[in-house]
A and B are shown apart, each in its own frame.
Chain A
């Protein structure tokens, strides 16, 4: 009997600790997500990425901390000013995190879409010389992300963005790209309606889709 009660106490304690740690995890994630929303400069985004990296080292089983660290770094890469020597290190760091997220959660449409987003960033650094090599890779990655989850608005929106770039380059109409943007906007709306308080899953990208809608798909 004594043994039993001891076991129960240990189990209770254990669950208490896990719960505490889970709460701390969620609290830390929500805090950094809040920080990411207000981050404007590459420096701010680097700090946010640091925050997610700290959570990642505490929670090696979760893919989200690495995912967001990669996203923050990719955005820092997009927003930083300067040449390849300034931007590339951000994308290199982002790749390390997203690859770790892919290892924790394989065949995850969100992670694959983010891999494509990072490739798109590397491409944007020097389109003249990287375009031929990376545009195919980015297309293929977004295609894979869509195949993994046809309800992922980010994958569809970014595939649309690539299609738009291609169409503009070849002087074709934006119809196909705009179809994708519209599909993504519908999914974004659905995602927004379903999102609960304290949601940690990715919800970003709606503004980008709206921008494309406004500028090219009237």
Chain B
């Protein structure tokens, strides 16, 4: 007997001939069957998969107590204790869905994301650099997105009836002071940063996260490239200058250094200009960025950008036939930052950093010599804790140091201010399920100069439908201190305020994207002042108060299609903005000159394989800009004719590592007018004479040759995007 038992013990498996069968149907919470579920007995090789109709049969010769596991993509695993005793079991489990980052609802109200993540996004980073009208300026591409207005004579980002200073720009989460180049009035400016530096961006036209503040209208967060894939050198030769970038890529760290020079003189000697230049714009910049892996999951980045540029221009005076007044601009700018990200234990993660911006402008206007300096130090430390896959909280601490100084050197006059903001923000995300998410946040701040504390609550909610479309709602309060030039005059000014409500619908399906949004913004405590002289430009500010107010309401739609036409990607945008505000020197509510009511754009990119070329077309139009004509009664009493622009571009991949890019703005040569500049005094006939404000030339022609040198002969300038 003992021997038999022993034999049985050794050949345990073969002794027990009884077979247990477990069968059933696997369903999800909605009652739909799930195919492909992995069903197995823990600690054994025994298992099976569910069929297309969700049914399964598991036959096993094992005996005793076991754990039966059901495992499937997108669902939480479920375990059952089973006793295998040779009989037939029926088990019909209902699997609960797991929160899945890829497919779960996201809050899309106000937001437009460009990234290589697989989530549904509006644009890819590559799309940004190839918009024809952008001329390689990252902001130029954003001007073809819904909610923005094209203000050609300024060049900055105007969002939904807000002025350009109401948009804050962040790089790797840290604020950039003076992100745009300094320029003379009515000479459009550009972003200072090379678009190839960024791998993704998050552009919000309102209702954004509590992580961002000091911006009434909009936040633009740019993220720099993480780790370039190879060592390479990039040479660029352009009709306006040239540059060189060297990238050194290692396993754990990398370094990129670049230097660029531009001078518009040769170009302007060839192409006739509307403007009377004494010295065409010129400048240089140098940039170094480094990245290092920190431990297994962390990364540290550092970035320094420095540049100097200048120009001298004769600006005509409306009541004279002479060259007008000579305006000289000299700018020096430095932006430096270091940031980190690290994943901790127990679902903690941390990020933060410190940035420094220093901008020095020197203006020579007629006999006056002005100098102003704007410095900003922003530091931030934030932590995210995931309490469960459904609930996470982000909390951060920030400090902003502002230092502004302006001097009238010829008169030896000087004034300045310093301000320190202390900020605490906290935001919680709660996923009810893969379809419904709620986000609530608060941003608390204190300004030492204004002696003011504030609390801005923000909420948003998003719901995803069966067709993958999603509806989101966002609302919140936003605070922003007035511009430095006014704060230095009236140091007790408090925050201006805006309240946003946004309703958004967003659907990405089969290569097509639809995005529609309606919004209402309410402005309070806007700055008003009196001016001693209004024309040709406002001078002598007095009686600065904060009793301005206003609103902006409207809707915009965006449709993008990469599917319908072969090798063609296009998007169409329409934005309607009804904005009126009492601000600046206006004593009643007016439509601001930077807020056209109807705005539209079309961007088409078509790839022709046989020519190895991408052709680009972009069309922008709006219904005209309001301006004030002193010959007529009332404020902001006139409107320009409508604005139209047709830009074309041609990119040719001559060799895998050589790109030739040719672009031309306003191909049709339309005479666009952005407003009028009037004389301060009427002429003998009692009429105020005015000059139209135009661009420096009807067209801008850009030719660039981009050559990449590396071991991999197929690498080119666009690879790092």
**Which residues of A does B touch, CB under 8 Å?**
16, 24-25, 28, 43, 46-47, 50-51, 53-55, 57-58, 83-85, 88-89, 92-93, 128-130, 132-133, 136-137, 139-140, 166, 169-171
**B485 in the interface (beta carbon within 8 A):** no
- 3 closest Cβ contacts across the A-B interface? A50-B38, A47-B49, A46-B36
Of the candidates B10, B47, B124, B509, the one whose C-beta lies within 8 Å of that of A129 is B124
- B346 contacts the other chain (Cβ, under 8 Å)? no
Closest chain A residue to B36, Cβ basis: A46
B38 and A132 within 8 A (CB): no
Can you report 20 residue pairs joining A to B where beta carbons are below 8 Å apart? A16-B10, A25-B45, A43-B36, A47-B36, A51-B47, A51-B49, A53-B71, A54-B38, A83-B510, A89-B74, A129-B126, A129-B127, A130-B116, A132-B719, A133-B124, A133-B721, A136-B715, A136-B719, A170-B656, A170-B714
Minimum CB–CB distance from A135 to chain B (whole Å) comes to 8
Q: Which residues of A contact B612 (CB under 8 A)?
A: 169-171
Beta-carbon nearest neighbor of B101 in chain A: A92
Q: A50-B47, A85-B468 are in contact. List 18 more A-B contacts (CB 8 A).
A: A43-B35, A43-B52, A50-B37, A53-B71, A54-B38, A89-B73, A89-B74, A89-B102, A93-B73, A128-B562, A130-B116, A132-B126, A132-B719, A136-B230, A137-B229, A140-B229, A166-B656, A169-B612
Provide the B446-469 mask, 1 if CB < 8 A to any CB of A, else 0: 000000000000000000000010
Interface of B, helix, strand, loop or mixed by DSSP: loop
**Residue from A24, A50, A58 within 8 A of B43 (CB atoms):** A58
- CB-based nearest A residue for B510: A83
Within 8 A of A (CB), among B212-269: 229-230
Q: Are A58 and B126 in contact (CB under 8 A)?
A: no
Q: Specify which chain B residues have a CB less than 8 angstroms from the CB of A130 in the assembled complex.
A: 116
CA distance A141 to B42 in the complex (A): 35
CA distance A57 to B126 in the complex (A): 41
Indicate if B40 sits at the interface (CB-CB under 8 A): yes
Report how far A88 CA is from B119 CA in the complex, Å.
11
Determine the distance from Cα of A12 to Cα of B511 in the docked complex, in whole angstroms: 63
Contacts of B531 in A (CB 8 A): none
Pair A50/B49 contact, Cβ less than 8 Å = yes
Q: Does B415 sit at the interface, judged by CB under 8 A?
A: no
Q: Is the CB of A88 within 8 A of B718?
A: no
Which residues on B sit within 8 Å (CB–CB) of A83?
A: 509-511
- In the bound assembly, the distance between CA atoms of A46 and B229 in angstroms comes to 33
Given contacts A43-B52, A84-B118, A130-B116, contact A170 B655 (CB under 8 A): yes
**Which of under 10, 10 to 19, 20 to 34, or 35 or more describes the interface residues of B?**
35 or more
- Contact between A139 and B47, CB atoms less than 8 A apart: no
B683 within 8 A of A: no
Check: B697 CB closer than 8 A to any chain A CB: no
A16, A43, A88, A128 pick with most chain B CB within 10 angstroms: A128
- Set of chain A residues within 8 Å of B49, measured between Cβ atoms: 46-47, 50-51
* A-facing residues in B58-81 (Cβ within 8 Å): 71, 73-74
Interface centre among B38, B509, B721 (most CB of A within 10 A): B38
Closest to B720 in A: A136
B607 closest partner in A (C-beta): A128
Considering only CB atoms, which chain A residue lies closest to B562 in the complex?
A128
Q: Is B653 an interface residue (CB 8 A)?
A: yes
The reply to whether A132 and B721 form a contact with Cβ atoms under 8 Å apart is yes
In the bound complex, residues from chain A placing their C-beta under 8 Å from that of B715 are: 136
State which residues 655-676 of B face A: CB under 8 Å.
Answer: 655-656
A55 to B45, CA, bound (A): 6
Residues of B within 8 A of A28 (CB): 45
Q: Is B542 an interface residue (CB 8 A)?
A: no
State the Cβ distance, B560 to closest chain A Cβ, in Å: 11
Task: Give the distance to chain A from B352, nearest Cβ to Cβ, in Å.
Answer: 27
User: Shortest distance in angstroms between B310's beta carbon and chain A's nearest beta carbon?
Assistant: 36
CA distance A57 to B42 in the complex (A): 8
Scoring A51, A53, A139, A170 by chain B CB atoms within 10 A of each residue's CB, the highest score goes to: A170
A54 touches B230 (CB 8 A): no
Shortest CB–CB separation between residue A65 and chain B, in angstroms? 11
Q: Does B637 make an interface contact (CB < 8 A)? A: no
Is B712 on the interface with A (CB-CB < 8 A)? Answer: yes
| Nearest-neighbor residue (CB-CB) of A27 within chain B | B45
Please give the distance in Å from B660's CB to the nearest CB on chain A: 14
Closest residue on chain A to residue B74 by CB atoms: A89
Interface: B92 (CB within 8 A): no
**Is A140 touching B36 in the complex (CB atoms < 8 A)?**
no
Check if B38 sits within 8 Å of A139, measured CB to CB.
no
Chain A residues near B137 (CB, 8 Å)? none
Given contacts A83-B510, A129-B124, contact A139 B714 (CB under 8 A): yes
Question: Are the CB atoms of A166 and B714 closer together than 8 Å?
Answer: yes
What is the CB-to-nearest-CB distance from A193 to chain B, in angstroms, rounded to a whole number?
31
B569 at the interface (CB under 8 A from A): yes
| Residues of chain A lying within 8 A (CB to CB) of residue B36 | 43, 46-47, 50
B125: nearest chain-A partner, CB-CB: A133
Which residues from B are CB-within-8-Å of A93?
73
Provide the residues of chain B in CB contact with A55, threshold 8 Å. 45
Instruction: Tell me whether B103 is interfacial, beta carbon within 8 Å.
Output: yes
B44 interface hit (Cβ, 8 Å):
yes
Partner among A84, A92, A132, A140 whose Cβ is within 8 Å of the Cβ of B230? A140
Nearest to B716 among chain A residues (CB) is A132
- CB-CB under 8 A from B38, the residues of chain A are 50, 53-54
Bound-complex Cα distance A152 to B43 (A): 34
Q: How far is the CB of A172 from chain B (nearest CB, A)?
A: 8
- A residues less than 8 Å from B719 (CB atoms): 132, 136
State how many angstroms separate the Cβ of A103 from the closest Cβ of chain B.
11
Report chain A residues within 8 Å CB of B230: 136, 140
Note all chain A residues with C-beta closer than 8 A to B42: 57
Residues of B within 8 A of A129 (CB): 124, 126-127, 562
Separation of A129 and B567 alpha carbons in the complex (Å)? 11
CA distance A54 to B37 in the complex (A): 12
Contacts of A136 in B (CB 8 A): 229-230, 712, 715, 719
**Would A132 and B718 count as touching, CB distance under 8 A?**
yes
Report chain A residues within 8 Å CB of B714: 139, 166, 170
Q: For the complex, what is the distance from the CA of A130 to the CA of B468, rounded to whole Å?
A: 21
> How many whole Å from A180's CB to the nearest CB in chain B?
14
Q: Is the CB of B116 within 8 A of A133?
A: yes
Question: Which of B36, B569, B656 has most chain A Cβ within 10 Å?
Answer: B36
Q: What residues of B have a CB within 8 angstroms of the CB of A92 in the complex?
A: 102
Residue of A nearest to B40 (CB): A54
- Pick the residue among B45, B52, B127 that contacts A24 (CB under 8 A): B45
User: Shortest beta-carbon distance, A125 to chain B, in Å?
Assistant: 9
Least CB separation from A46: chain B residue: B36
With a cutoff of 8 Å between Cβ atoms, the chain B residues found around residue A89 in the complex are 73-74, 102
Determine the chain B residues whose CB is within 8 A of the CB of A43 once the complex forms: 35-36, 52
Q: Which residue of A lies closest to B100 (CB)?
A: A89
Q: How far is the CB of B567 from chain A (nearest CB, A)?
A: 8
Contacts of B102 in A (CB 8 A): 88-89, 92
Least CB distance from B605 to A in Å reads 10
Measured in the bound complex, the distance between the Cα atoms of B656 and A53 in whole Å is 41
Q: In whole angstroms, how far apart are the Cα atoms of A43 and B511 in the complex?
A: 25
Complex Cα spacing A20 to B179, Å: 69
CB distance from A84 to the nearest CB of B (A): 7
Separation of A16 and B10 alpha carbons in the complex (Å): 9
CB pair A170–B510 under 8 Å, yes or no, is no
Indicate if the CB atoms of A128 and B118 lie closer than 8 Å. Answer: no
